[in-house]
Structure 1
Amino acid sequence: MTALMFPCTVFETQKRMDDYGAEDMRSGDLTAGQLKTQFRLTDISTKVEPYTLRRLAAFGGRSSMFRPPAAGGPVGRQECARILFDEFRELSATFALYGPYRHLIGKMINHMQYGNGTPFRDALLDQALKEHILNDRTDESSLIRIRDTLKTYINKDRKIYPSGDFDKINSIIRGSKLPKFDRFQDNFNGMGITVHDTWATHIKIKSLKINDAGYLAVVNYKVQDHFGLDAEDVLKFKFHQFRFFRIWFVLQRYNQFGFKPFMTNMEVDIHVKEMI
């Protein structure tokens, strides 16, 4: 019997980290005609018309579904994008009403505007991930399943986790619910709009110390999401109905703007102590 050596990656999702070829990572790839016909994106902003680069009327805006708004003065492309981003930020407040994470969406919109596609990291994201993992006390919790599997298969006499039982811990994680911000409260606390579902997750046991009383394990979660929209996202009514997502899609995918989406990175170490 040989011991499993640590640190050891015990789980990886099929979707890989840093997948810049994913559909939601595209930018500047659609024409005005495609956005209007394929995606029904005609009513974008209440402040500016991105296709014609004209301000909308100061009063009334899109006041009638039967009558187009009176055209205002022309704007340059950069100014149009700035106006759209300001409206994008204003509309984000609907999805981030309370709590310590409500300001994250503003930071991430700023990063889309100025970050040129570089990865995004924030201590609050790591905090949110840690709280989510620790507060999940359901039977589907990946952390609880890791804790129980270690307790079951640790060899108490030799004080090791047998390498032959690696598949036990891998399979139990595959049947678990990975941390995602798709709970009811995430619709209002800022995490659903910033992360929601996740793209890739890696779980690693960094260390495992065993004595006669029990064990202490350090479990590392590395989670990555994409702050970007794909075609399927914007075609769904649940997203298309909100001006917030229509502006986002146009800023990202319209070939006259092409603001780059980016990787959102989260990482946390969880200390697990258990009697055996």
Structure 2
Amino acid sequence: MSALHFPCTIFKTQNRMDDYSAKDMRCGDLSESQLKTHFHLLDVSTRANPYTLTRITPFTQPQSMFYGSRGEGEKITRQQCASILFDEFRDLSRLFSIYGPYKHLIEKMITHMQNGNSTPFRDVSLDRALKEQILNDKTEISTLLRIKEVIKNYIDWGTNTYPLEKKDELRKAISGGKLPKFDRFQDNYNGMGITVHDTWATHITIKSLYIENDRYRVVVHYKIQDHFGLDSDDILNTKFSQFHFFRIWFVLQRYNQFGFKPFMTNMEATVEITGGRSES
């Protein structure tokens, strides 16, 4: 019986890594009339009007008692308007990032969108959050626990190997589980829900399998990629469109007068599984 050799990639999502053709990676593709008519983005910011390139003050806000008393707001350049919108974007992000070691990430990623010109984003905090999420998932749909179950069940203890013919059992087990995401209740407030939430592509690789004296140790590597960008469905969802935060994000990304580029968010984590032949 042939043995499976490592490292070995045991799972890949249908979504590809580095897929710049994805809908949420579009930028600068919508006109003012499209944003207003199709997406109903009339009220975008409380600080600047991206269409007229004017500052918004109490005298230029329709809901203000001072509205209209001093005419149109101060004219600003497109660059000044973008800077004002990004500052408001960062300030509003704090509504979704209240506590914990990852609350700083969203502001860092917004600044990367402003200055990074679509270069991929990596941060050790993201890798740490991913590893914690994988290790702390004790549910029956945990991909890590499902990998452990399959390894334990199909190890050939006579040769201390994992059979090549049982490779697909690993893929099937992972497919029946839930890939690491940040959609738990606490992620609504700890900064991970707003920075990553769902994910686009996942690759899972067994880097090594060591078996001796009826014990085994498996090293598993997760490579996960998300897109920091919004597609049309996102902003047409009232759950998102009600917030100025997402309105500003969409306009900065998709308005043809701005066109700030979304980017790939990359995360990796390496975790170990250990166990024995006799464990239940």
Matches within 5 A, 1:157-176: 157-176=158-177
Q: CA deviation at 1:213?
A: 2.7
Written as runs of structure 1 = structure 2, the 5 A alignment for 1:146-225 is 146-225=147-226
Contact map agreement 2:60 2:73 (CA 8 A) in 1: no
TM-score after normalising by structure 2: 0.96
Bigger shift: residues 208-217 or 190-199: 208-217
Q: Is the 8 A contact 2:157 2:214 kept in 1?
A: no
In the TM superposition, 1:18-167 aligns within 5 A as: 18-58=18-58, 61-63=61-63, 71-167=72-168
Preserved contact between residue 183 and residue 198 of structure 2 (Cα < 8 Å)? yes
Instruction: Tell me how far apart the structure 2 counterparts of residues 202 and 68 of structure 1 sit (CA, whole Å).
Output: 56
Aligned partner of 1:138: which letter?
T
**Inter-partner Cα distance in structure 1 for 2:68 and 2:199:** 39
Q: Which residue of 1 aligns with 2:230?
A: 229
Using the aligned pairs only, state the percent identity: 62
RMSD: 1.4
Per-residue deviation, residues 226-273 of structure 1 (Å, max 9, x unmatched): 000000000000000010000000000000000000000000100111
Q: CA deviation at 1:59?
A: 5.7
The answer as to 2:254 corresponding to 1:253 is yes
Name stretches of at least 5 consecutive residues in structure 2 with no aligned partner: none
Q: Secondary structure at the match of 1:224?
A: strand
Q: Residues of 2 paired with 1:68 and 1:236: CA distance?
A: 32
Task: Give the distance between the partners of 2:47 and 2:142, measured in 1 at CA.
Answer: 45
Q: Which residue of 1 aligns with 2:12?
A: 12
Give secondary structure in 2 for the equivalent of 1:94.
coil
Instruction: Describe the superposition over 1:191-246 as per-residue Cα deviations: whole angstroms up to 9, x where unpaired.
Output: 00000000000000000011123111110000000000000000000000010000
Instruction: Tell me if structure 2 keeps the 8 A contact 1:46–1:62.
Output: no
In the alignment, is the contact (CA less than 8 A) between 1:156 and 1:212 conserved in 2?
no
Task: Supply the distance in 2 between the matched residues of 1:71 and 1:223 (Cα, whole angstroms).
Answer: 47
Supply the distance in 1 between the matched residues of 2:120 and 2:58 (Cα, whole angstroms): 37
- Contact residue 47 and residue 61 of structure 1 kept, 8 A: no
Where in structure 1 are there 5+ consecutive unaligned residues?
none
Flag as ranges the 4+ runs of structure 1 deviating above 6 A: none
Count, aligned residues: 275
In 1, distance between residues paired with 2:148 and 2:229?
A: 34
Distance 1:78 1:244 in 2: 19
Rounded Cα–Cα distance in structure 2 between residues aligned with 1:268 and 1:62: 49
Give deviations 1:28-57, integer Å, cap 9, x for gaps: 000000000010000000011000101112
Distance 2:61 2:46 in 1: 6
